[in-house]
Amino acid sequence: MNTTKVFDLIGIGIGPFNLGLAALCDDISQLKCIFIDSKPSFDWHPGMMIPGTRMQVPFYADLVTPVNPRSRYSFLNYLCENNRMYRFGINEQLFITRKEYNGYCQWVCSLLKNLHFNEICTLIEPSGENYKITTNKTFYYAKHIVIGIGDIPYIPKITNLEEHENVIHSSDYLFYRKRLLSQPSVTIIGSGQSAAEIFYDLLHQRDRFKKGLNWFTRAERFYPMEYSKLTLEMSTPEYIDFFFSLNKEKRDELFPKHSVLYKGINSNLINEIYNLLYEQWIEENSSPIHIEANCELTDIKKHGRNCTCNFYHRLLGQSIEHNTHAIVLATGFHSTFPDFLTPMRSQLQLNANDTYNAKRNYSIDAYDSIFIQNAEQDTHGFNAADLSLGPYRNTIILNTISKKAYFKTKRKIIFQKFGII
């Protein structure tokens, strides 16, 4: 074994969560670690970088600040180092734009020396007490692995994007925006933040869609993401503790009820959409608008370059046929079991549907040596995808790996109690 390539930790994937882990690791000189990613560089959701769109977590919920506010990799230090602090302060925005967040993360990448982009993990397998990680360029050995490859776009089984050139997923929106604007009609399917942002963006170009701009969702309404203060106390380590303590049946029952905590639309955006619709109504804009909830997509049929959508109205129990020239599927994302983990399957804690049965410390094996980022919804709940809790999860992972509390984890930080105390 080439001992020069044995690392304490190797991170697979360099999204915000593993990037935050790399930033925290940089302050621990004893840790020898690298992070690899197949992409050529860090670029966070480029297809949804619509001008003006904002984050749904405050600026201080960056890669490191919640657990290490003195870190050189904080967002405030990014502002200071780039001579942007005063204008940012004068602007008085708690929620920064996605573009600014992306720029901040790219700045962190430029400072870290152990990020390997353009390198694809092809296989992970046991190798004595360690793991062998094979890539398209070389191989490494690691004592611990943190998998943060992110989710992939969810495409309903009723359609195949390769067969429908004018059917796209919302994650690719900006790459196809010019084509969408050339269509007589566009239909958006979904009720979350991405669907609303795309609808609002296209609504500014309403005159282009002579045959209509449409928005359907199977949800019972176009609901806002709940953002009241006592509800926000659920986005904390203490609620993760509570959710994790429940048995699987209770967790499965509770999780769907949390959709308003992370799947809804920013209430300000809902108001902006309505205000724009009202202005266009006053101006007597005649291009058709169709917005409807309770409509579940059941089929998409191709007719030349056009499409027919079939919906089932979940309350009326009736089928609806809808013709359109282009479709944007804002149908979210889902995690999949990566092929490179196949040799490890027997050693991992998996549920029957190949989701991860993670421990409280985010490990998915018996030896606390393989960890996951943003794939533990079954065990830890809706907070798995919350950017503001990324530093907390990374602290738990690092403290577990090092068997030392490099960064403190806070307790009793909220006013309410979730269980019986």
**Any idea where the domains of the chain sit in the sequence?**
3-151+335-402, 167-224+263-329
Fold of 167-224+263-329: FAD/NAD(P)-binding domain (3.50.50)
Q: pLDDT tens, 244-285?
A: 999 999 999 999 999 999 999 999 999 999 999 999 999 999
- With CA atoms as reference, report the closest residue to 362 among 197, 123, 218, 148: 148
Return the top range by mean pLDDT from 1-5, 160-164, 194-198. Answer: 194-198
- H-helix or E-strand spanning residue 63: none
> Is the distance from CB of 329 to CB of 170 less than 8 angstroms?
yes
> Is the distance from CB of 150 to CB of 289 less than 8 angstroms?
no
Q: pLDDT tens, 132-183?
A: 999 999 999 999 999 999 999 999 988 888 788 899 999 999 999 999 999 9
pTM: 0.95
Q: In a 3-state reduction of DSSP, which class is residue 50?
A: coil
Instruction: Check if 3-151+335-402 and 167-224+263-329 are the same fold.
Output: yes
Q: Name residue 132's beta-bridge partners.
A: 125, 141
CATH class of the structural domain 3-151+335-402: alpha beta
